[in-house]
Amino acid sequence: MRDTFASELTNLAGSDPRVVLLMGDIGNHMFDRFKELYPTRFFNCGIAESNMISVAAGLAMSGFRPFVYTFAAFDIGRPFEQIRVDLAFQNLPVVIIGLGGGLTYSPLGPTHYICEDLAITRALPNMTVICPADTVETRAAIRAALQKEGPVYIRIGKKNEPVIHETHPDFVIGKGITIEEGTDICILGAGTIVPNVIAAAHLLRESGLKTRVVSFHTIKPLDTDLLETVFSDYPLVVTVEEHSLIGGLGSAVAEWTSDQSLPRKGHLLRIGIPDEFLHYAIHPKSTREAYGLSPDKLAETIQAQYKKIHPHPY
């Protein structure tokens, strides 16, 4: 996904002279082509992320369309004040690309992985929050973000993420994409955990549960039309995210359901990262397994919840 970002932004810069790139001293070779073609529109701001956000704000006020890129832990966790005051408060069109949000960088420990970024950004007025599932959605999200008039946060994976879309779907900010259909359970997945969600859905089908899978790529604004439909049509709606259970997709959906006065058929199950820190370094696949985000663990948890609310044989 990071290579996809680099190539897509280079393409966009060719057709839009307002596009500028700021980075926090990582991935230099990724942007060789961008630097070769547009050397005056590339800024390596060093490991000074708070300053980088303020520089991006100044560029946006000067008519440019800045894209900011570094680890999500560093361009969200470190410069929150600048994001809040310089970008969100002034509603400036700056796109923050957070590399490796979730457990991607869990081998580097708590300084480098972040499971709170969606909560932090979702709480800010004027902020759009997008969590694409694969390279196809990443390209589309970057193009869509360029058209927004306010700040956007896009959380992307690192590399080798499975491609879940065989074709190019109609990507619209705030509108989920149905990947597979089903009538018993609906799973809303956000980000690079979606391939595990799809695999879990296949396991559920083997046990007789027809499962719909939606790439719910936009955390803010929510696709409330889709939510109204699935909570009316399905006995169980599940959110799955590689993010804290506090403040992310599951929280956003739970908040929405609590604000609705109409009766709904569906129960909500939220699956994500518990309210705790990792105190050891471990491979992301093992971390996901430990937190119940592997396909078999997801299927087991979802099937158990379905049996609680639907005890009759299916």
Domain spans of the chain, in order of start: 2-156, 177-309
Residue 197 has pLDDT above 70, yes or no: yes
% of the chain at pLDDT higher than 70: 98
Q: Which residues contact 226 (CB under 8 A, 6 or more apart)?
A: 175, 176, 214, 216
Domain 177-309, CATH: 3.40.50.920
For the residues 53-68, what does the mean pLDDT come to? 98
For the residues 8-13, what does the mean pLDDT come to? 97
Indicate the pLDDT class of residue 310, thresholds 50, 70 and 90.
confident
Whether the Cβ atoms of residue 285 and residue 193 lie closer than 8 Å to each other:
no
Q: Which residue type occupies 213? A: V
Residue 49 falls in the annotated catalytic set: yes
Say how many CA atoms lie within 13 Å of 235 toward its Cβ: 15
Residue with the two structure tokens 């999500």: 72
Domain 2-156 has CATH 3.40.50.970: yes
At 282 the pLDDT is 83
Indicate the pLDDT class of residue 279, thresholds 50, 70 and 90.
confident
Catalytic residue among 8, 36, 49, 161: 49
Do the domains 177-309 and 2-156 match in fold? yes
Q: Quote the strand ranges of the chain, DSSP E.
A: 19-23, 42-44, 65-71, 95-99, 128-130, 152-156, 177-180, 185-190, 211-215, 218-220, 236-244, 267-273
At 262 the pLDDT is 62
Closest among 298, 269, 1 to 133, alpha carbons compared: 1
Residue 88 has pLDDT above 70, yes or no: yes
As a whole number of Å, the end-to-end CA separation of the chain is: 39
Q: What is the pTM of this model?
A: 0.96
At 284 the pLDDT is 86
